[in-house]
Amino acid sequence: MSDNPENEKQKVLIVDRDRFADIISRMLVSNFDPDTANDGLDAVKKLRDLLPNVIVVDVDVPGNGLKLAELVGVSPSYREVPVILTSTNPSPDNIIQAQNVGASSYLAKPFGPNDLQSRIRSAIEGGPPAPLSSGVENDEDPAETFTTRVKTIDGLPAFPATHAKILELAKSDNATAEDLAEQIQLDPGLLANIFKLANSSAYGFNRPVKDLSLAVTLLGMEEIANMVMVAQVFDNLGEYEDGAGLDLQEFWKHSIGTAFVARAIAQQLQTETEHAFLGGILHDLGKIVLDRYFAGYYAEVVQIANDQSLPIAEVEQDILGLTHSEIGGLLAQEWQFPRNHLNTILYHHTPEQARRDQRLVCLIHIADVLCRQFDFGSDEDNAAPEFSEHALKRFSLTDDSIQKLTNAAEAELENANAFLATLVS
């Protein structure tokens, strides 16, 4: 947000119902440059062009003022803008929530012009939070530079300690199948899924698997780690009544399909075979966050993307000031995902921007595009998918080699369907 010259009035976006917005605007017009919006969605649409110095928003405005403050707080484009929350009936819970979402202050209605103007000046003089870095502009580790306020999103689950321990053991050279089985037994849902998969046609073992240590041995440490991450995303984040935008069944179909395709082409290209499957599962993680926690806002994004056949990320940036890649990266950093998976989430649409983990990022990009070309699950837009030239050059892919990858991907999608059937059975 650029500084205003001293002789230029500072801009204030007032988000409130018609009558109140007009009253507040008249309170400020002598010393500030006010503009108004009557709901949260109208506000985010105005933010890009208006670039206000302060936002004043009522908590009960359509779209939910607290949700608007959360969205502003996690957006790289707008998080420098201070937010003042107002309410006719403030409660202790509202005040705590306002603090949690990073609001500058909380003001009870009715208030006078002097009180409001004083709060606005204090918010401006207090300065913005430290700018959000995506790790794109320097060579530092994105896991260290991608600062986050995603934990302030109301209801967002923490990463379970049991799952974290299983992942730690799965990556350890010294852990045994018995060590892993001991931890898995603490999570009945994960335990049930492991037995279902071990006995499914997707793996084709020639006898029933009833012993957990044997199941771990047969599936392998890498597959167990993949399953833990899938369980975390499916069970702890992905189980909710459909939001306003995503078709969850189609979303998961696309994510699983991308994972299987990524693993198949990783084997073809003889690179990143250990990380491809999980990278495919996680690449669109941010869409779940937007759809579950900002449903009213994301519904508009999905609607516009479908109606105008625009790439979903382009519409997200235009309407919300951030993309599913960015908010997915925020969550990945909060949950302490490995750096390579953080980068695939951040850059799977823009692999040329990744400073590290280029091979995995490009591989997931190619898998995502192939899965979309086969219409395997929904990508929430009707835009024709295209390969990044950077990704194709990274693997020196010709038309013939792209066709070979396409054939491998098509064959692997049958296995993806079997895997999905097992998970939902």
pLDDT of 120 reads: 95
Q: What is the pLDDT of residue 417?
A: 85
> What pLDDT is recorded for position 396?
96
**In the prediction, which pLDDT does 425 show?**
65
Tokens 């599913």 belong to which residue?
Answer: 324
Same domain for 71 and 150, yes or no, is no
Given this model, what pLDDT does residue 338 score? 82
Question: Is residue 114 domain-shared with residue 257, that is, in the same domain?
Answer: no
Q: Which of 91, 126, 161 is the last residue of a domain?
A: 126
The per-residue pLDDT for 349 is 95
Range of the domain at 42: 11-126
Question: For residue 24, what is the domain's CATH number?
Answer: 3.40.50.2300
Instruction: Specify whether 105 is located in the same domain as 245.
Output: no
Return the pLDDT at 201: 66
Same domain, 360 and 270: yes
Successive 10-residue mean pLDDT values, the chain, 425 residues:
63 94 95 95 90 94 92 86 91 81 88 94 72 38 48 73 82 86 86 81 75 86 77 72 76 91 94 90 91 90 90 92 92 84 95 95 96 85 86 95 93 84 69
**208 lies in a domain?**
yes
Which CATH number characterizes residue 297's domain? 1.10.3210.10
If asked whether residues 98 and 247 sit together in one domain, one would say no
